[in-house]
Structure 1
Amino acid sequence: MTLPLALTFGEPAGIGPDITLAAWSRRAALDLPPFYVLGDPQALERRAKALGLNLPIATATPATAVKAFATALPVADIGIPATASPGRPDESSAAAAIGSIDRAVADVLAGRAAAVVTNPIAKSVLYKAGFTDPGHTEYLARLSFQETGDPAWPVMMLWAPEVAVVPVTIHMPFKDVPQHLTRDLIFETGRVVARDLIDRFGIAQPRIAVAGLNPHAGEDGTIGKEDNLIVKPAIERLVADGIDARGPLPADTMFHEAARKTYDVALCMYHDQALIPIKTLAFDHGVNVTLGLPFVRTSPDHGTAFDIAGSGKADPSSLVAALKLAARLAVADQRKQRKPFAALT
């Protein structure tokens, strides 16, 4: 890689600073790609002191980050102080977190960074400050549109060597899922997944296993009609589009070891149907990947963990996995001229 990864600060009161410092301190042993942090250098220095870490922090730019990375943690100062103490978000939290994301996306779209890696944010903190997007994924898609003028169809994929899963519907009450689940939504999601598995993950013919919505995938309509009326026609449309998709499959038999060998990604109908299996199999090293954007974005697959922030107990494994995967995908991305999918609906 000739360009560094842009790592966001995340929620200043959470474990983002902790795992960032821990990852950089083990950079050689873990063979990490070069990255720089977008945020408040003084806040990182305070957190390092609280953790008892004597490590150098250097104010840097994307252009100087690669060289600086070997001897100091490069930090691009975004000009927004982060004053929150570990476990105690304050009035600076939302501004610092959002400002870091904004700069990271601007850097990667301007060609100054290879990819965006995001530390965890606290959506409840952002909502109180007027944040209107449901989460990271949707906000990144909006930033992409504002910067490029191209609409994106963002898809959240949780990836680990053991399994990759995609929830078609994400952060909504379970009672609302059947009303939001449509043939077009399933098709669009599967199409984006297939393309990015080909282009970025290097899988020539991705195999997509599609879970049913209802128990036993509806048991041919006797336990709910949605699988026959919505899920099955969407799969047929994916197949007609040349995509290797099959289902709807009973979700309770999709995730044992033998079943996982038959597909590259599981397309699930709702949040917990996707996240329970990957967090069971790969809790410490799962990675959140946003597909469908004109740039690579990964993130640790965990939250802010306010209860252990500043304690030294935070495990950087998921961040390490996110950094390594971002570098791998960015190398593949540099070989192609990327544009997001426009929505068909």
Structure 2
Amino acid sequence: MRPRLALVPGEPGGIGPELCVRLAQREHACRLTVLADPAHLYAAAQTLNLPLHCKAAGEECALGELAVLPFTAPMPMRPGHLVPANSAQVIAALLRAGQGCMQGEFDGMVTGPAHKAAINAAGIAYVGTTELLAKQAGVPVVMMLATDFLRVALVTTHLPLREVADALTPALFERTLRITRDDLRRRFGLAEPRLAVLGLNPHAGEDGVLGREEIDIMIPVMEKLRAEGFHLQGPLPADTAFLPARLAEYDAILAMYHDQGLPVLKYSGFDSAVNITLGLPYPRVAVDHGTALDLAGTGRASDESLWQAVQLCRRLALQGVTA
């Protein structure tokens, strides 16, 4: 089986179009459809001095070719420059890809980096692609980043640090644990996922001396879920949970906030890391980097994260649990 994957490059002025052109030079065991402006892809190919031929969506492609579902942008692409006027095209492509996944046209979605500031500058309320797709599908989701040997899911994502403790409610904590466990089972084939749960506070609260969130919020929920058969360790101090000797004991780590878990993951495998949205009715995998405006047009951007995202999305689609 060759899964049908939608690929949305993201911000045209960033490295997304160039990564798609580089991806066209590789053989991949899936049928990709790129939702973008063909002019942006051809401009990126010229910058990289690589061959590219854009074909109609659904057509078979050889090396140097991409099947493209056109989303014509009003302004030309300028590498390294943000053009908010093109942001509506990015959002439309993301929503079209999500719709295609839910209707069975595609078996999964891969996304490149969008630029929050450019999209909001265009007058479009946008927090992130994860939140956009969750709203479209009408389901709660969890962000999980992964490398070949480490998975880190997040309870809260893009929040100021001073807001994290208030956001950590029993309901959110329980929902995140359930979604993470369910998707590790149905998408990753783990019959009984082992989850390590990090405490919110230093030393996991030190028995209440350094904070009571572990005692008042986390432990009661974890005891309830353990009684249902969940395999949970913690709450664990975050400063020792990532020791190599301990990582073999977990299938995934649940961090309470963005910068608690992701610096370790990105340090350990930035080029190969990918961003997975758990809870959607289809597989969605994204690159684990930003638009890299400073690299756009230089030819130095690596497509390794995009390559890994495509490979993982293909494997998740092959699990057979798609829209």
**The TM-score by the shorter chain falls in which range?**
over 0.9
Which residue does 2:285 correspond to in 1? 298
Structure 1 residue ranges (4+ consecutive) displaced by more than 3 angstroms after TM superposition: 79-82
Which residue does 1:43 correspond to in 2? 40
Within 5 Å, which residues of 2 pair with 1:1-345?
1-25=1-25, 27-28=26-27, 31-53=28-50, 55-61=51-57, 63-64=58-59, 67-70=60-63, 72-81=65-74, 83-145=76-138, 152-332=139-319, 334=320, 336=321
Q: Kindly tell me the number of residue pairs found equivalent between the two proteins.
A: 323
Aligned 8 A contact 1:166 1:266 in 2: yes
Cα distance per residue 1:13-46 (max 9 Å; x no partner): 0011111111221x13xx4533121011111101
RMSD (Å) for aligned C-alpha atoms: 1.5
| Counterparts of 1:281 and 1:3, CA distance in 2 | 29
Cα distance per residue 1:93-118 (max 9 Å; x no partner): 31121121022112212211111100
Post-superposition offset of 1:143: 1.4
Give secondary structure in 2 for the equivalent of 1:21.
helix
Which residue does 1:149 correspond to in 2? none
Post-superposition offset of 1:82: 5.1
| Counterparts of 1:82 and 1:233, CA distance in 2 | 54
Aligned 8 A contact 2:52 2:66 in 1: yes
Aligned-partner residue type, residue 44 of structure 2: R
Give secondary structure in 2 for the equivalent of 1:306.
coil
Post-superposition offset of 1:69: 4.5
Distance 1:56 1:84, change over 3 A: closer
| Counterparts of 2:33 and 2:170, CA distance in 1 | 41
Distance 1:248 1:84, change over 3 A: same
Post-superposition offset of 1:127: 1.4
| Counterparts of 1:204 and 1:82, CA distance in 2 | 49
* TM-score, L = length of structure 1: 0.90
Cα distance per residue 1:302-340 (max 9 Å; x no partner): 0000001011110111101100000000111x2x476xx
| Counterparts of 1:275 and 1:37, CA distance in 2 | 28
Post-superposition offset of 1:84: 2.8
Aligned-partner residue type, residue 251 of structure 2: D
Distance 1:80 1:106, change over 3 A: farther
Aligned 8 A contact 2:282 2:322 in 1: no
Aligned 8 A contact 1:153 1:292 in 2: yes
Give secondary structure in 2 for the equivalent of 1:104.
helix
* TM-score, L = length of structure 2: 0.96
